[in-house]
Amino acid sequence: MLIDFCKYQGAGNDFVMLDNMSGAYDSLSTNDIALLCDRRFGIGADGLLLLSRDENHPFRMVYYNQDGSRASFCGNGARCICSFAVRHGVVKPDTTFSFIADDGPHSAIAYPDKNWVDLLMSPVKTVQRVGESAFLLNTGVPHYVEFVDNLDAIDIMAKAPEIRFSQRFAPDGVNVNFVNIISNSHVAIRTYERGVEAETLACGTGITAAAIATAVSTNTSGPFNVSARGGELQVRFNANPDSSFSDIHLCGPALLTFAGRTDSLA
């Protein structure tokens, strides 16, 4: 099967993008997607996204992890697919448009001249404290956020899987983030993503979770600059009296790295 694709990245979080408005790629299997994301035998990516048709929105975002499993959302992937949708003429640049993902409706503005996307995330209803310095919240997918003094000292491939696969978060597991507070408006983060089962250079939903957890932990309101291994993103939101969070925006770069055609599934 010949597949035309684009490769995008947002702060080093990279994705394969497929135009599926015709339904041409509905038949891709879990193994097919994992192969396309494989960095040695396929294109290579942290995940794969389908730009698909929807009756009530300009498009539907369908997201798959690197291992081929489907996930309800991906923040950086969503920002990248918005840029991809502009490139393919599905939505217009520099103006607000809507789309739907498995976690619900979203809206965004894509600025292609600046390679920048401002994405409206889903509301966060609760933030649960799960330890002296750790929190659990869902920003489209579940995230564990633990505050640490030294990010570089963390052996993430040793510590994160213990949390990700722990009985407490079974059966689906959780994404794991370690966060260092630099100032009232600036934090740094390292993220281990389930479905990739490794540290990624950035994670949009993790960055959003880190900003909200910081606001709860420090009683500050942001906005926040969040420094990941692959770059910096910005998060702003409204903190509500009932301890929920709304009007959550994840903002940052979304860049086309290359486009091509593969027959790796042949």
Q: Which residues are catalytic?
A: 74, 203
253 Cβ contact list (under 8 Å, min separation 6): 10, 11, 115, 116, 117, 231
In three-state secondary structure terms, 6 is strand
Q: What whole-number distance in Å separates Cα of residue 189 and Cα of residue 207? A: 7
| C-alpha torsion sign, points 228, 172, 35, 4 | negative
CA distances to 1, 106, 231 from 90, rounded to whole Å, are 24, 15, 28
